[in-house]
Amino acid sequence: MIAAGLQLDIAWEDPEENFPRAERLAAAAAGAGARLVVLPEMFATGFSMDAEKILPFTDRIREFLAGLALKLGVWIVGGFAEPGDPRPRNALSLLDPGGREILRYRKIHPFTLAGEPEVYGAGEEVFTAEVEGVRVTPLICYDLRFPELFRAAAERTDLFAVIANWPERRRRAWNILLRARAIENQAFVLGVNRVGVGGGEPHSGDSTLLDPFGRARDRASRREAVVRGAVDPGEVREARERFGFLGDRRPGVYRKLEEPSRKEE
């Protein structure tokens, strides 16, 4: 299966400006054979903390994603802010080529440095769906810094799709962490980031598709672009059979190490 990440320059809090940008790149990706098209975190608004302003766009954004999937006949991952109780959520949907939502994921780790936990509530579950024979687990931005999420889903995942608004000043961490998540979980990783300035922060993109050994299949920086490549579950199986690192894990010991130490009476 060909997977593609759309590296967009996102107009701030302006979905109607962003929809044609997303559609143009999505059409190019589909025309080049992509079956899964992945958009950045909050692709239609930017990473805005003004939930009151952007939440009214939620239904329109989801309608756009469903219509785009149907029009192009592809699977799509797209992120948006959604209403929630007691707080809204930073979420994404995976839609099939008929425009039907297959899963919805809520960001488990709101980004403290940006004040995100004060605006958006945290999710509690990780979901995996099969996309034309490829097991796909989507996550959002700051989740990348928490290997526990990836490890929990590793054995049921061929491709981790990480959507982001990751700023340029932390690009070194982005690039290293994407590669680490691919290597340690022996899975493909597609990191899809934005370019341009959003909320006063420059973004360099650095969207990348990595194979199960952490080798880049495609990469782009500092410009709008489509990052694409083949994702083959057979490569994941082969890597894991040849190097049985996941089988050497000792989850029982790890859980014990996390327990508070007990003082002898």
| Positions marked active-site | 41, 107, 141
Question: What is the C-alpha separation between 82 and 175, in angstroms, rounded?
Answer: 28
Tokens, residue 210: 């990595």
Place of tokens 């790890």: 254
Helix intervals (H) in 1-124: 15-31, 51-54, 58-72
Comparing C-alpha atoms, which of 205, 200, 143, 140 is closest to residue 168?
Answer: 205
d(CA 265, CA 251): 28
Beta bridge mates, 37: 4, 76
Nearest Cα to Cα of residue 39 among 79, 82, 98, 85: 79
The vertex-137 CA angle with 97 and 13, nearest 5°, equals 70
The three state secondary structure string of 150-210 is HHHHHHHCCEEEEECCCCHHHHHHHHHHHHHHHHHHCCEEEEECCEEEECCEEEEEEEEEE
